[in-house]
Amino acid sequence: MEIRKGPARFSLKELRTNMIQAKDLEVTIGRLAMEEEWEPQGPTPFPGIKDLRAWDFKFLSRYKPFYAPFCDLCCLCTYGKCDLTAGRRGACGIDIKTQQARIVLLACCIGAATHTAHARHLLEHLLLKYGEDYPINLGPEIECEMPHVRLVCGIKPKTLGDLTYILDYCEEQIVQCLAAVHTGQEGNYLDFESKALHMGMIDHVAMEVADVEQIITYGYPKGDPNAPLTEIGCGCVDVTKPLTLSIGHNVAPSIEIIDYLRKAGLGEPGQAIEVAGLCCTAHDMTRYTNQAKIIGPMSYELRFIRSGIADVIVLDEQCIRTDAVEEAWRVKTPVIAANERACYGLPDLTELPVEAIVNKLVRREIKGAAIFDPEKVGAVAVLTALRMQPLRKKYKAIPDIDQIKQAASPCTFCSKCRRNCPWDLPTDEAVNAAKHGNIEPLAQLYDRCIGCGRCEEACPQHIPVHSLIVAAGERKFKTEKFKVRVGRGPILDTEIREVGAPIVLGEIPGVVAYVGCANWPTPMSDVGRMAYEFARRGYIVTSTGCSAMAIAFYKDEEGRSPYEVFGGGFLRGELSNEGSCVANPHISDACIKIAYIYARRNLRGNYEEIADYILNRVGACGVAWGAMSQKAASIATGFNRIGVPVIVGPQGLKYRRLYLGRVEDEESFKVYDARTGERVFVGPAPEHLVYVAETVEECMVWTAKLCIRPSDTTKGRMIKLTNYVDLYKKFYGKLPEDLPMLVRTEADIPVTFKDEIMEFLKAKGWQPHPMPSIDPTMLERLIRVKRV
């Protein structure tokens, strides 16, 4: 029997004693322990799917859903396929707009479920190791330990065991929203959107749980702005040593690898054995010890597996290539699947002794093994790597440089590789050039290739196009090595006290978060180029996941990575890496903490008010330049619900839905002045909630623009406009046309462009705004003076 800590509930229809008479009495025991009266309870603790619907509808009336159907059909039930093109309805009555919203909700459910399952799996492992009374302590500089949990759930968790209740709630909400996707359930696109926003919010709660539980138990940095630097890149590992490679997001088995090394007297990672990772699990390994190495983001998976450098591969969960086992088998690397959500068809050997599993792997009796015990994974991985390394030194699936011409020779220049490349890279021209002896065009693709391998699947001549690109870039592959800051985790309350006012007043021009996956339209170093530019301009720059890795691949003129140039604080002109994907809520949490610490707004069950505060006052903008996964969809949607706009790269339009404002609809951009109750037009501040940029230049201009807020003081607006106008002029060649809506008074005008802008405004017939300074809110209930 499984015993879990949780609330016990009972109810009595009628109770009569000498002391008490009661009807319909309900009693809950367990959760009450957490519910001390630390703050007045707000209107929506543990909100269900209807509780924030009115707020969603309010801001969706400004940021209307824009749909770009990725598929014209619905194939979800046996009535179909139904063609929903251009106004047709399906057999169940659904139209294309509602179907898109339904698929968006499905994506957000998948994303939220993935993080919740991750958090639950890790929590159960940690509860066994550390016990349910293990305290949640993020150090003396963090009093507000889990802002999302406080805000959404209305509770203040104190122990590891308390997190169980929060995940119970997340799981219940995911089930409710997923049920709404069923045929014949929800039937309105706005209601689907509201549920998608709900899932985004739940996702941030679950991610917060996932990261806090690992920070407190594994001893990760607790908001340390000076978290150490570590190495990233294929060239950062010593290939003469045995190497374990972890792929995924759930760090538990990788921690056990490191612990096993220590227990077995093999020292720290990098001494007897290299311990490296790909994707977010690598971030989380380096938060445990910065002697672990980060190979790179998801786009490096195929190239590194094929390189044959890894002696054993441990798959945990999420963002693993589905062909990882087959690719590893080609280079004789055994695989361990360590999580029941990603078994990869491998036999479950959890119950076998360590030595027996190692023997099977080393003798290549099996391609790999599923082991659902993290500690055993640690032992098996280390022992397998030690024994495999001398046996498989010569195996790799990447041709040598002198073999490229031969491998390219069957090319007929049919261009199918290029047609199938998500980024239209000129693979056809490069392979054809290699066929004639020139490998330089292939080498030039090394930095741009996202490693999906679609080119190879498309090639009728079966040319290993991706491998040829990596072979041509061999020198870079072997030597590339950069510096990345170890994930610092949450933002300190003390940092919020320092930057809260200048952010809200606009004097720090914005908070920019580079987040998300590796489906980048341009070389991944462009993420670093953008981060560098905004840190240089005095923005607070934050990052997580694959984007935090990509930033390290940019080098300035002196050959330094942005992490070497800028401090790691949540401060003006600094650049922080919060950590893996599940560290994303630390960024939304920082926005919540500004409302809580600087503005002294209550958090407890008070979601609507805090989201309203952030949307109108906290100039933050997320950039998911390579967004790919359903997790990225739910993360972005969670940012949106709390009032933070997000820019995605061009492939982001395949998420099917954006939230776009139309500023010419002035009524939709009016807010209340909370001091008077008057409705005031505030201009495009911010203009959109999810926007797609086609180029880095467009992305940078929009990043500056989406940090503009109605609450900016004249000094703050001037600083923000200085950056917006400067970037616009640099990349677009003139002043932006929307300046008349953004300049409220002459004092808003950047000094450096004063004459030019005044002349421009005069020509446009600009008049100063009658109410440049307001206390903006979209919530009528926050108006302090009631209108008669």
Partner 1 sequence: MALSPDKAPTIYAALTKRAKNPLLIVGKYVLEFELDGKLLIDYAIEIARKRDMPIVATAHTLKGFLERNFPAVSMGLVDIVNRLQDPNFTVDPRKPPPHDLVLFLGITYQFASQGLSTLKHFAPHLKTITLCKWYHPNADWSFPNVKNEEWKQLLEAFIKALG
Indicate whether 67 belongs to the interface with partner 1 (CB under 8 A).
Answer: yes
Nearest approach, Cβ of 624 to partner 1 (angstroms)?
15
- What does the buried/exposed string (b/e) look like for 142-160 if buried means 16 or more CB atoms within 10 Å of the residue's CB? bebbbbbbbbbbbbbbebb
Beta-sheet strands, E only, within 44-97: 64-67, 73-74, 82-83
The one among 460, 732, 784, 787 contacting partner 1 by CB under 8 A = 732
Q: What are phi and psi of 598, to 5 degrees?
A: -80, -50
User: Containing H/E element for 202?
Assistant: helix 189-218
Indicate whether 61 belongs to the interface with partner 1 (CB under 8 A).
Answer: no
- Beta carbons of 237 and 309 less than 8 angstroms apart: yes
Where would I find the H helices in 331-464? 354-362, 374-388, 404-408, 416-420, 427-435, 440-444, 454-458
Closer to partner 1 by CB, 4 or 419: give it: 419
The one among 97, 222, 360, 387 contacting partner 1 by CB under 8 A = 97
Rounded Cα distance, 606 and 608, in Å: 6
Indicate whether 7 belongs to the interface with partner 1 (CB under 8 A).
Answer: no
Nearest approach, Cβ of 664 to partner 1 (angstroms)?
9
Closest CA to 28 of 4, 12, 45: 12
The one among 487, 538, 643, 650 contacting partner 1 by CB under 8 A = 650
The 3-class SS string of 439-451 reads CHHHHHCCCCCCC
Rounded Cα distance, 24 and 106, in Å: 38
The one among 263, 364, 393, 419 contacting partner 1 by CB under 8 A = 419
Nearest approach, Cβ of 723 to partner 1 (angstroms)?
16
Indicate whether 444 belongs to the interface with partner 1 (CB under 8 A).
Answer: no
The one among 427, 542, 651, 711 contacting partner 1 by CB under 8 A = 651
Closer to partner 1 by CB, 87 or 184: give it: 87
**Separation in Å, CA 267 to CA 77, 261, 262, 263, 615:** 56, 6, 5, 8, 49
**Could you tell me which stretch among 85-93, 372-380, 601-609, 746-754 binds partner 1 (CB under 8 A)?**
85-93
Closer to partner 1 by CB, 208 or 428: give it: 428
Indicate whether 96 belongs to the interface with partner 1 (CB under 8 A).
Answer: yes
**Could you tell me which stretch among 80-88, 230-238, 251-259, 717-725 binds partner 1 (CB under 8 A)?**
80-88
Closer to partner 1 by CB, 165 or 423: give it: 423
Bond from prior residue into 81 cis (ω within 30 degrees of 0): yes
- Beta carbons of 116 and 80 less than 8 angstroms apart: no
Indicate whether 694 belongs to the interface with partner 1 (CB under 8 A).
Answer: yes
Indicate whether 70 belongs to the interface with partner 1 (CB under 8 A).
Answer: yes
Rounded Cα distance, 323 and 615, in Å: 42
Closest CA to 644 of 617, 682, 680: 617
Nearest approach, Cβ of 178 to partner 1 (angstroms)?
26
Rounded Cα distance, 469 and 540, in Å: 36
All residues at 6 or more sequence positions from 564 whose CB lies less than 8 Å from its CB, including other chains: 229, 483
Indicate whether 417 belongs to the interface with partner 1 (CB under 8 A).
Answer: no
Binding to partner 1, residues 700-729 (CB under 8 A): 701-702
Binding to partner 1, residues 655-674 (CB under 8 A): 658, 660, 662
x/- track of binding to partner 1 for residues 562-601 (CB under 8 A) = ----------------------------------------
All residues at 6 or more sequence positions from 343 whose CB lies less than 8 Å from its CB, including other chains: 337, 370
Nearest approach, Cβ of 96 to partner 1 (angstroms)?
5
Indicate whether 764 belongs to the interface with partner 1 (CB under 8 A).
Answer: no
**Could you tell me which stretch among 251-259, 344-352, 359-367, 420-428 binds partner 1 (CB under 8 A)?**
420-428
**Could you tell me which stretch among 268-276, 470-478, 686-694, 716-724 binds partner 1 (CB under 8 A)?**
686-694
Indicate whether 733 belongs to the interface with partner 1 (CB under 8 A).
Answer: yes
Nearest approach, Cβ of 163 to partner 1 (angstroms)?
39
Closer to partner 1 by CB, 363 or 419: give it: 419
Rounded Cα distance, 720 and 736, in Å: 13
Indicate whether 689 belongs to the interface with partner 1 (CB under 8 A).
Answer: no
The one among 22, 32, 68, 356 contacting partner 1 by CB under 8 A = 68
DSSP for 426-484 reads -HHHHHHHHHTT--HHHHHTTTT-----HHHHH-TT---HHHHHHHHTHHHHHH--EEE
**Could you tell me which stretch among 207-215, 593-601, 634-642, 645-653 binds partner 1 (CB under 8 A)?**
645-653
CA end-to-end distance (rounded Å), the chain: 63
Question: Site residues (CB under 8 A) for partner 1?
Answer: 66-70, 72, 85-87, 96-97, 415, 419, 422-424, 521, 650-651, 653-654, 658, 660, 662, 691-695, 697-698, 701-702, 731-734, 737
